[in-house]
């Protein structure tokens, strides 16, 4: 599971349908610990994470896998070991499932060529974050019953966002209309080629949309000043009740987290239970990751 780009609609639908069954299982408080019994899942995180790492851990445990978390601060990566040496070590330990987050775009693909384990990309640089797009799609589909023909505005720091890229691929593949909204300095130059409409003004970009997906301003990936002050950014591109009024009256608000409150989103909107799906996204994250582990381990089982 390296990227959404290249996936076909039936594959995405099958993944979401299976995840849907895991939502019900999780809500019932049951587990299915036989499914991955005896399997080893390693969480290899070279970048910070709260939601993604924890939800992969929970997903693995609920399906009965042995889960090991490897944080970079405690690994030999700090002693200068390369990604591929680390991969070789993990391979020798007979890992079945490897979840990797890394600052370099392409790191997950590289690793997948070097290890026997099934590799899941939990975010590689500014490239893709496929399980995030799947959980976002599941969240939307459960609320709206479909993805097709919905209009989704992805707003903010699109340039640095792997979440935006994976969502653009998934939503356009599934027949949604996608807009990207943000300042020109935070838009990839060729973004229109991905089949989206580009806006530099929130009022126009949000007009009549069904879903408003906000992105974090990713300062850690900015090598130069691409935005003015945070106050000014909020004034033009931060989502508040006033700007949200331009969307459909029942438009729903999403954010992958972590949020910068008062920078890209106002707390009153983020915490409004009638409009915000942010909590639900986190719940869907566990179910989607269970579905992904389930499907990938079926393949691994066939190779036994």
Q: Which residues bind ligand NCD (CB under 6 A)?
A: 51-52, 123, 129, 132, 162-163, 216, 218, 256-257
Which residue among the candidates 13, 51, 114, 142 is catalytic per the annotation?
51
Active site residue 243: no
Which residue among the candidates 39, 53, 62, 101 is catalytic per the annotation?
101
Nearer to ligand NCD, 49 or 75 (CB): 49
Least distance in Å: CB of 217 to ligand NCD? Answer: 8
Least distance in Å: CB of 230 to ligand NCD? Answer: 15
Q: Are 167 and 213 contacting, i.e. CB atoms less than 8 angstroms apart?
A: yes
Which residue among the candidates 62, 102, 127, 129 is catalytic per the annotation?
129
Least distance in Å: CB of 48 to ligand NCD? Answer: 8
Active site residue 52: yes
The three-class DSSP label of residue 181 is: strand
Nearer to ligand NCD, 67 or 163 (CB): 163
Q: Are 32 and 62 contacting, i.e. CB atoms less than 8 angstroms apart?
A: yes
Nearer to ligand NCD, 22 or 46 (CB): 46
Active site residue 101: yes
Alpha-carbon distance of 93 to 218, in angstroms, equals 35
Which residue among the candidates 52, 131, 151, 173 is catalytic per the annotation?
52
For residue 281 the two structure tokens come to 């996204």
> What is the sign, positive or negative, of the torsion defined by CA atoms of 33, 35, 38, 41?
negative
Which residue among the candidates 74, 79, 82, 193 is catalytic per the annotation?
79
98-122 burial by CB neighbour count: b if 16+ within 10 A, else e?
bbbbbeeeebbebbbeebebbbbbb
Shortest Cβ contact with ligand NCD: which residue?
216
Least distance in Å: CB of 131 to ligand NCD? Answer: 8
Nearer to ligand NCD, 1 or 39 (CB): 1
Nearer to ligand NCD, 15 or 163 (CB): 163
Nearest CA to 277 out of 224, 214, 199 is that of 214
The three-class DSSP label of residue 36 is: coil
Q: Are 280 and 270 contacting, i.e. CB atoms less than 8 angstroms apart?
A: no
Least distance in Å: CB of 157 to ligand NCD? Answer: 8
Active site residue 129: yes
Q: Going by C-beta distance under 8 Å and a sequence separation of 6 or more, which residues neighbour residue 303?
A: none
Q: Rounded to the nearest 5 degrees, what angle is found at the Cα of 48, between the Cα atoms of 19 and 168?
A: 50
> What residues are annotated to the active site?
51-52, 79, 101, 129
């Amino acid at each position: 599971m390296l990227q959404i780009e290249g996936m076909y609609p039936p594959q995405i639908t099958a993944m979401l349908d299976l995840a849907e069954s895991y939502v019900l299982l999780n809500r019932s408080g049951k587990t299915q610990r036989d499914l991955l019994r005896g399997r080893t899942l390693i969480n290899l995180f070279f970048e910070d994470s709260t939601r993604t790492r924890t939800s992969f851990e929970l997903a693995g445990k609920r399906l009965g896998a042995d889960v090991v978390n490897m944080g970079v601060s405690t690994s030999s990566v700090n002693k200068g070991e390369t990604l591929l040496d680390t991969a070789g070590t993990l391979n020798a330990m007979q890992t079945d499932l490897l979840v990797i987050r890394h600052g370099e775009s392409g790191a997950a693909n590289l690793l997948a060529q070097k290890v026997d384990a099934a590799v899941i990309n939990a975010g590689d640089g500014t490239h893709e974050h496929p399980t995030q797009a799947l959980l976002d799609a599941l969240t939307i589909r459960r609320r709206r019953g479909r993805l097709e023909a919905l209009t989704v505005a992805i707003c903010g720091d699109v340039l640095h966002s792997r979440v935006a890229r994976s969502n653009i691929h998934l939503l356009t593949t599934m027949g949604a209309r996608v807009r990207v909204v943000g300042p020109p300095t935070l838009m990839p130059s060729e973004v229109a080629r991905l089949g989206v409409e580009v806006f530099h003004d929130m009022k126009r970009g949000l007009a009549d949309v069904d879903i408003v997906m906000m992105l974090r301003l990713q300062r850690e990936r900015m090598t130069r000043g691409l935005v003015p002050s945070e106050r000014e950014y909020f004034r033009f591109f931060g989502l508040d009740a006033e700007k949200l009024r331009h969307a459909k009256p029942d438009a729903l608000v999403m954010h992958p987290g972590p949020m910068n409150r008062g920078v890209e989103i106002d707390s009153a909107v983020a915490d409004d239970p009638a409009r915000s799906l942010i909590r639900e996204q986190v719940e869907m994250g566990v179910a989607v990751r269970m579905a992904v582990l389930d499907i990938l381990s079926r393949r691994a089982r066939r190779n036994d």
